[in-house]
Amino acid sequence: MTYVDGFVASVPTARRADFLQHAQAMGRLFKEYGALSVVDCWGDDVPPGKLTSFVLAVQCRPDETVVFSWITWPSREARDAAWKGIMADPRIQSAAEPPFDGKRMIFGGFEVLSAV
């Protein structure tokens, strides 16, 4: 069954164009390695929470915007193999730093239980 990698990060709002360029380049790379789809979203209705929220999870600052992205893969096995190749790809090794603080990004892999 399909497998999903999900990511949430906080990007300086002034660097939206830089993020889009980075996301598109990475998306093309993921697709080369077998991703079925890559989606990157720019937050526009992301309320701060008192106990939990996207804003709190990534320590989003007032001059930043939360982004939410996901990659769909044919399977967990395809994803695991792809990530090995992606991390060894010279384009990743020579890529510029992403336009966000990777230490505040949250991510994980998810088995799809239901898709309607």
Q: Each residue of 13-23: b (16+ CB within 10 Å) or e?
A: eebeeebeebb
- What string of DSSP letters covers 72-109? EES-HHHHHHHHHHHHH-HHHHTPPPPSS-GGG-EEEE
**CA proximity to 38, closest of 60, 16, 22, 55:** 22
Q: What percent of the chain has pLDDT over 70?
A: 100
- Please report the pLDDT score of residue 31 as a whole number: 98
Pairing of strands 37-42, 106-111: unpaired
Convert the pLDDT of each residue in 66-103 to its tens digit: 999 999 999 999 999 999 999 999 988 877 789 999 99
Residue in the structure block whose two tokens are 């990534």: 58
CA distance 56 to 17: 24
CA distance 106 to 22: 17
Q: What is the mean pLDDT of residues 7-11?
A: 98
pTM here is 0.94
CA distances from 6 to 27, 44, 50, 64, 90 (A): 13, 18, 23, 19, 24
Residue in the structure block whose two tokens are 């730093």: 97
